Amino acid sequence: MWARVGLMGSVALGSLFWSQKNKAEASPYELKLVQVLFRHGARTPLKSIPDVLEAQWVPELLAVPAHTEIDYKVTDLQGGPRPPAPVEDSYRAKILTGGTYPGQLTTVGMQQLYDLGLRLRKKYIQEEPFLTPSFNPKDVYIRSTNIVRTIESAKCLVAGLFQQEQTGVVSILTDKAEREILYPNYHGCKLLKQLIGHRWAGSSTLPDIAADLQIIQKSLGVDPHQRLDFILIRDDMVARETHGLPLPTALENWRSLVEQRAVDMIYHIYEPSNRQHLQLCVGPLFNILLTNIEDKIQGTTSKPDRKMFLYSVHDTTLMPCLMALGVFDMKWPPYAADITLELYQHRQTNQHFVKVSYIGQDQKIPGCSDVYCPLHEFKKALAVYTLPDEHYYTLCDSVEDRSKL
């Protein structure tokens, strides 16, 4: 009886492997390159809502699970010492109730990124043998913003993707703050600060948003003179919920409104109908993604074996990217959300195609004739926002006359 079950089990397993192999062979598209932009995992809030029920952000919430540990180092883009991190320094100048710093990756967040790594492993190692099962620096490039939560998120994803198997140390590359292009850089780009900086302040004074904010501040018992906005409220609310920490009762009734208004604010800030705003937010990042694709196709890269680029970023990276791609769903990206770009080559015609997915769901990009978007159509769709570095920095320094804005 046992032998028979075992035999049937192995036959079933064999047919499963055969069907997966057959499925891969049957596809007219051959995978050539994968690029993943992913948001960091759950973290402590950036600020607590003032004057309300305090949450205890204790150090125990930041315990590192053993299965997320790998041998890694953080360098600048050339492999030299890690640059100074003024954004991280600003977090560490404050302490939340409970004793931790704002904006720190928690155990929950570490697990979320490990799980994203497992999802990528299933797709690119188990279902399709695209990557080798252990980390090889020739195959995979990892870049992060120079902030501890994104660096640790990258580390946890790699631990899940390669199950802590590695050939050599994992290098996580970062850039100095004033040159960072993995998020809209108001400090490094003067023109962006001028065009969008005032929109941050103005977003809270839009009539509908201001009226709702007044109601919620009153419900929470927050002093009307306290500086508060829906993005801050949402940040604290989601951080608490994710970690099972108490929410002010009044806030539970307003949850969906807070979500909606936070997105309304960010939509106003980035103003996707204004091409230059989005161009300054995502232009150099889009240029990197397209350059990686071109280098792979032309064989002009110094790393011909490279198969995957991982970019550890923020919600404020993903939202303008989704807006520029024309697929923003008017929802705040959750922790560990990812935008993945896959480059394929058609086995018969040798033509190249790009497929974009968001949190595992394929997206049809406006301007593309199919989910598998012909490369020339994809480049054309992104061309209105793509900026080579030198053009970006020239634009950034060209501050406009405010009277014309």
List all residues 6 or more positions away from 173 whose beta carbon is below 8 Å from its beta carbon. 74, 75, 76, 77, 79, 141, 142, 143, 144
- In whole angstroms, what is the distance from residue 218 CA to residue 198 CA? 26
pTM over 0.75: yes
Please, which residues bridge with residue 33 across strands?
343
Q: Would you give the DSSP letter of residue 167?
A: S
Strands 308-313 and 140-144 turn out to be: parallel
List all residues 6 or more positions away from 2 whose beta carbon is below 8 Å from its beta carbon. none
Q: Which has the closest alpha carbon to 296: 340, 338, 342?
A: 342
List all residues 6 or more positions away from 285 whose beta carbon is below 8 Å from its beta carbon. 37, 181, 182, 311, 317, 321
pLDDT of residue 201: 84
pLDDT of residue 257: 96
Please, which residues bridge with residue 344 across strands?
31, 353
Please, which residues bridge with residue 340 across strands?
36, 357
Question: In the numeric block, which tokens belong to residue 371?
Answer: 């989910």
Residues lower than pLDDT 50 in the chain? 1-12, 15-16, 18-19, 24, 402-405
The torsion angles phi and psi of 352, rounded to 5 degrees, stand at -105, 145
Domain regions of the chain by residue span: 29-186+272-397, 195-270
Q: What is the pLDDT of residues 196-220, one digit of tens each?
A: 988 988 999 999 999 999 999 999 9
Q: Residue 333's Cα: distance from chain center in Å?
A: 8
Active-site residue list: 40, 315
- In whole angstroms, what is the distance from residue 197 CA to residue 269 CA? 8
- In whole angstroms, what is the distance from residue 47 CA to residue 90 CA? 12
267 in Cβ contact with 261 (< 8 Å): no
318 in Cβ contact with 333 (< 8 Å): yes
Q: Which of the listed CATH numbers 3.40.630.30, 3.90.1150.10, 3.40.50.720, 3.40.50.1240 matches domain 29-186+272-397? A: 3.40.50.1240
pLDDT of residue 289: 98
Count other Cβ atoms within 10 Å, centred on residue 22.
11
pLDDT of residue 402: 46
